């Protein structure tokens, strides 16, 4: 069965083979890769699955945003302890051999997307945070509130410029979803 993790593993292994071909031996096999690297790869796969028209440049931008959010900075060489990486730069500034990695990654995801068995597990961060699939009462208003807030969270996540403000905004939107759901599902209190 093809899953998101299998696609991520294949993309990782192809990247490792390509890196080795250009003299970069820093990529270890998937089974030896640290959890942060596997998670980064899985996030990249999800980004491409959720945005089927995303370009390799979009993939790099997403990767770059995630790295900066996690505290990584530019460095002459990759060092996970110091959180430095030579690809922490704009896509247009990357050397061609580094851009090829983004082409390979997006190509793997796009070529395997139709084989994915568990498509319902591909959720945006907003959908996950508001619990988009949880509506035991089947209220249409609950679905509408959760969809609206999930879309707002995803918009802020993708476009927020200040990490702290973005984080606070997302937290407040989560609260808004909870209170919005309560407002349309909680019985009205009657005074006697």
User: Are residues 96 and 153 both part of a single domain?
Assistant: no
pLDDT at 169 over 90: no
User: Are residues 139 and 108 both part of a single domain?
Assistant: no
Residue 191 placed within a domain: no
Which two tokens mark 107? 């190509």
Tell me the residue range of the domain where 76 lies: 4-120
Q: CA 42, CA 22: separation in Å to the nearest integer?
A: 24
Residue 135 placed within a domain: yes
Which carries the bigger pLDDT value, residue 171 or residue 18? 18
User: Are residues 50 and 84 both part of a single domain?
Assistant: yes
Average pLDDT, the chain: 87
Q: Count of CB atoms within 10 A of residue 173's CB?
A: 22
**pTM of the complete model beyond 0.85:** no
Q: Specify the number of domains making up the chain.
A: 2
Residue 12 placed within a domain: yes
Q: CA 182, CA 145: separation in Å to the nearest integer?
A: 11
Stretch 57-74: mean pLDDT: 91
């Amino acid at each position: 069965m093809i899953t998101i993790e299998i696609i991520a593993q294949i993309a990782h292994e192809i990247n490792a083979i390509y890196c080795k071909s250009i003299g970069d031996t820093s990529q270890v096999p998937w089974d030896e890769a640290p959890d942060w690297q596997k998670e980064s790869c899985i996030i990249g796969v999800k980004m491409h699955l959720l945005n089927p028209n995303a370009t390799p440049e979009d993939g790099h931008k997403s990767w770059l945003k995630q790295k900066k959010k996690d505290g990584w900075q530019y460095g002459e060489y990759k060092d996970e302890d110091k959180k430095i990486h030579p690809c922490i730069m704009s896509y247009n500034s990357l050397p061609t051999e580094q851009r090829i990695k983004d082409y390979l990654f997006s190509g793997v995801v796009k070529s395997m997307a139709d084989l994915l068995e568990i498509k319902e597990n591909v959720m945006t961060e907003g959908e996950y945070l508001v619990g988009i699939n949880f509506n035991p009462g089947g209220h249409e208003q609950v679905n509408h509130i959760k969809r609206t807030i999930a879309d707002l969270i995803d918009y802020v996540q993708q476009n927020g410029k200040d990490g702290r403000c973005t984080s606070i905004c997302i937290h407040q939107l989560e609260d808004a979803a909870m209170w919005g759901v309560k407002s349309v599902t909680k019985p009205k209190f009657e005074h006697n």
